[in-house]
């Protein structure tokens, strides 16, 4: 997707927002210029600091997810034995809404960044694990046999066959989980935090009925999600140019 398409779409969205704000004429939906002023004012003030805290948390959780879920998915997918043994466990635990564990995580890890990073990573873990496992299990046996016939060890198979084949799956899993990560980040920050954009939206915006500031936080969080998605798209285009998806972001 080109920058021009993204810009035109953004203008359409902003135009619809402005028209709706003018039609409703209610304080709970400020117009675009008012929110824009709140964004500029907030980014040079407390909103900028809150956004920095949120960015650090979501990036750390994404990195932890990739570092943990990728090797686990590879280990399961490249072994029919392990795949057969653990598929039932994944099947049973994946549908459980992980949000119910938030109180337990807060009790165990406290109210600091660690609990929020762990909570986000827990939810993203399965999304990456499953696509990596399926990608590793879907590699043609003939390819594996041809490399093994050359004397490749198990580690060499993982390094030169399974891992390169699963890089697109890892990036796809992370791209698909971007929206989930931002939603979970907002939930964690709005319930048990003293910093972050979720806290800013609920406490400094909604709690004070400062609606322009509240929407400024929404815009900041949306922008964070967009930048993360675009970064993963650009990384996928660089590492997997041979299979860049048709809807990927193009600079």
Instruction: Classify the phi-psi angles of 248: left when phi > 0, otherwise alpha if psi is within -120 to 50, otherwise beta.
Output: beta
pLDDT of residue 2: 66
pLDDT of residue 241: 65
Nearest by Cα to 116 from 179, 173, 53, 68: 53
Residue 162 CA to residue 159 CA, distance in Å, equals 6
Residues 104-159 pLDDT 10s: 998 899 888 999 999 999 989 988 898 888 888 887 777 777 777 777 777 777 77
Phi, then psi, of 104 in degrees rounded to 5: -65, -45
Domain annotation for the chain: domains and CATH numbers: 3-243 (1.10.3720.10)
Measure CA 151 to chain center: 39
Assign 216 a pLDDT band (cuts: 50, 70, 90): very high
Residue 206 CA to residue 242 CA, distance in Å, equals 46
User: pTM for this one?
Assistant: 0.82
Residue 88 CA to residue 25 CA, distance in Å, equals 54
Residues 38-70 pLDDT 10s: 999 999 889 999 999 999 999 999 999 989 998
Give 64 or 84, the one with higher predicted confidence: 64
Are 126 and 180 in contact by the 8 Å Cβ rule? The answer is no
């Amino acid at each position: 997707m080109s920058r021009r398409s993204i810009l035109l779409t953004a203008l359409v969205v902003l135009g619809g927002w402005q028209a709706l704000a003018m039609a409703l004429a209610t304080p709970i939906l400020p117009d675009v210029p008012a929110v824009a002023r709140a964004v500029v004012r907030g980014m040079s003030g407390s909103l900028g600091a809150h956004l920095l805290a949120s960015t650090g948390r979501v990036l750390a959780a994404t990195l932890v997810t990739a570092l943990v879920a990728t090797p686990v998915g590879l280990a399961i997918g490249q072994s029919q034995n392990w795949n057969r043994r653990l598929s039932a466990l994944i099947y049973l635990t994946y549908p459980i809404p992980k949000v119910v564990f938030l109180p337990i995580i807060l009790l165990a890890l406290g109210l600091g960044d660690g609990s929020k990073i762990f909570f986000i990573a827990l939810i993203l873990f399965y999304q990456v694990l499953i696509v990596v496992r399926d990608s590793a299990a879907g590699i043609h046996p003939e390819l594996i046999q041809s490399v093994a016939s050359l004397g490749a060890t198990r580690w060499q198979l993982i390094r030169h066959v399974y891992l390169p084949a699963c890089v697109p799956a890892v990036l796809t899993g992370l791209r698909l989980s971007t929206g989930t990560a931002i939603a979970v980040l907002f939930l964690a920050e709005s319930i048990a935090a003293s910093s972050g954009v979720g806290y800013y939206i609920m406490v400094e915006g909604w709690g004070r009925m400062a609606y322009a500031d509240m929407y400024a936080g929404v815009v900041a969080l949306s922008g964070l999600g967009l930048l993360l998605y675009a970064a993963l798209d650009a990384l996928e285009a660089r590492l997997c140019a041979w299979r860049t998806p048709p809807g990927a972001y193009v600079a």
